[in-house]
Structure 1
């Protein structure tokens, strides 16, 4: 840090930035006043700003509601060699995220009230990004018996999922969708048919054939999406499908949405840019899940985000320790650190190429994820919690995973030049992250 930071809940004035708030139809230069952890006023005059306020000069910056991630693996408890809630929180703040939904694949898994409360208590004690646990859909994530969803919800679970493990039990998923109508909480399903995907390393296509690597066929995702959306239509349960990666999935999601079925879907930034050709290097940093598909799928995914078929962009953060990702491609696990690059990758590949407007991008990264998870977030409206991200849209930087705040240092974006960096992240009126001239500080 090279300059003072505000004291706890000191009023903050963010002045002169481009305020982008899709929830309220705002996209203009303005001023934002934060008092006692909430948005107090948009465009207050000088006389309305407290004399003891901390001023942030936001000229040439985009001021957006804090980003919301629909599913990141924080790995704690039990898998701290990959990530901890502390390091994951730091990475999220550096990436502009103020709220993160935590996946259930910890050890022990999040299938009990005690597990939900443990994750929540650790996150609250650390005082960083807002962490919302996703409870297991099935006991032990074994897809045999439905978890005690009402008890998990009462303990604070924001939704239910066995992700990144697929749900092969059709009857269990249908019962859960029915049951969750009573709880008014979503089910997040990672669509994949395990029998078709077993042993797959990369997208099943011409490149995998040439390389002699077992493929992950698009049919494995397409069939799972077809089942998911049909069960959601039949039960009227709240379903989020994703992240998705295939043209077939997009087609089915679009068709069922056209019939008014209230499902939602998401995609990862690496699937909006990288293709399976990157695996020609046999580099495990490109072994991600869902896998990078062919260029035709990438183009279709980009269009689906632009036209609203896909609602949200999520990080797909699956951190794995260096010694795990250092294995040969066939032995290395799927996964990568993506919390710190999601925003910049979206800006570089979608905004600067005129596929998305700034308003649509923030809608996909903040407003829609908050709506899907039913969080009090994703808006800069008066009275809303002051979760705010400031972005320098023209900052060019080269991705160096060794500089990540995440414990994982594997990234499919490594050595890419990206545009856009978070300069400030504010959570509940507290300035928790500042970037000054290539240095960073988590307060």
Structure 2
């Protein structure tokens, strides 16, 4: 089968392409990118006035399966990904059981293959059951296809464990993804420590809980000469540490989630648990430094930290509510609105942060729209203004603080492995 995308602006950061071109797909491969490709008897998508880009890649997603299917499943999570323009996601290991064995890795891969709405890559746990005590069988998981290791929100506090993990990551040439949190400092907290916690009387989480572990892990990464990726940066001190590390040539990369550059802690009230996330929404000073870090390249990629929850997990007091924000279906629009339109980040740079850069971090051959590559493509109407409506999410999790926000830039088509999986607000069934 041949599919022709006509009339759009192809934006491909890897090749620095930014011009009006047609794209021809045969089966699951891109076979032509040029001007005025003949329509013939081909199925045609009219992309006039839109951009055609590599499908977005998110390396920080919680699909909740196995164990928490009441919050999300691989099927609903990949539908949510497709609706957000994502063709590839990497899932975190905080499932039940945790992703600490090849059997769990292969279970997720099989489920994702059946769901068929997005490519799903697996991140294996650093330690068994995420307990921080004993390394998982990382070699066996690697043979089954994991692309990174992480203990997600259960940061291993023992340096000897982290040293062994960095050595293992170096041997396998995969990144160690660190959720940087000193649990001794964050214990009992729900909100950014400081003015916000004083105003709301909610227990705070200090910035030091993050940046002290960022500092530790950068030093360990440097000592072992491994690959480190810092998850969801939220503090100005973390950005400064990253800037310094990169200037020294240390092999560290970093991500930021949209809620950490759009929101500030002065909007938080004790009644809106949809703003509860870990790390917490920080101060304007932190957000300003994060945006500076994005614009200068200290922060490498956008990741969602997509963390869906059932209503009962949020419909309680702030201190008891679960941490997490649903993010896949709003990430591009928020990033385009608040980074490109508001802060003058070049569009091609944003696309880079959501395609080729995350692909390079986890070492996969994706994130570029080129002849001979798999046809993972998103078509976006940058001029489409709309109101975020969580009732329309494909994710089971409706827990977003952005409900009612007016944003610009909407994915209209998502094409995964040559198949249209999302078209104009609808998931396309195989």
* TM superposition score category, shorter chain reference: over 0.9
Give the 4+ runs in structure 1 shifted more than 4 A. Answer: none
State the match for 1:7 in structure 2.
Answer: none
The structural deviation recorded for 1:45 is: 4.3
State the match for 1:58 in structure 2.
Answer: 47
Give the 5 Å matches for 1:78-89: 78-89=67-78
Deviations 1:232-280 (A, max 9, x none): 1111111111111011000111111111112110000000110111212
- Find the aligned partners of 1:64 and 1:261 in 2 and give their Cα distance: 31
Give the 5 Å matches for 1:186-205: 186-205=175-194
So what's the TM-score if we normalise by structure 2? 0.98
State the match for 1:284 in structure 2.
Answer: 273
- Find the aligned partners of 2:16 and 2:154 in 1 and give their Cα distance: 37
Structure 1 residue 440 corresponds to structure 2 residue 426? yes
The count of corresponding residues between Structure 1 and Structure 2 is 429
Structure 1 residue 408 corresponds to structure 2 residue 394? no
State the match for 2:26 in structure 1.
Answer: 35
Helix, strand or coil at the partner of 2:18: strand
Structure 1 residue 374 corresponds to structure 2 residue 359? no
The structural deviation recorded for 1:92 is: 0.3
Give structure 2 stretches of 5+ with no counterpart.
none
Structure 1 residue 12 corresponds to structure 2 residue 34? no
Give structure 1 stretches of 5+ with no counterpart.
1-9
CA contact (8 A) 1:376 1:385 kept: no
Helix, strand or coil at the partner of 1:340: coil
State the match for 1:209 in structure 2.
Answer: 198
Helix, strand or coil at the partner of 2:45: strand
So what's the TM-score if we normalise by structure 1? 0.95
State the match for 2:129 in structure 1.
Answer: 140
State the match for 2:232 in structure 1.
Answer: 243
The structural deviation recorded for 1:281 is: 5.2
CA contact (8 A) 2:14 2:356 kept: yes
State the match for 1:156 in structure 2.
Answer: 145
CA contact (8 A) 2:21 2:35 kept: no
The structural deviation recorded for 1:44 is: 5.1
- Find the aligned partners of 1:182 and 1:44 in 2 and give their Cα distance: 45
CA contact (8 A) 1:312 1:364 kept: yes
State the match for 1:6 in structure 2.
Answer: none
- Find the aligned partners of 1:408 and 1:46 in 2 and give their Cα distance: 42
State the match for 1:4 in structure 2.
Answer: none
Structure 1 residue 180 corresponds to structure 2 residue 166? no
CA contact (8 A) 1:232 1:239 kept: yes
Deviations 1:64-121 (A, max 9, x none): 1000001100001110010000100000000000000011011111101100000000
The structural deviation recorded for 1:32 is: 1.2
Helix, strand or coil at the partner of 1:92: helix
State the match for 2:326 in structure 1.
Answer: 337
Give the 5 Å matches for 1:321-332: 321-332=310-321
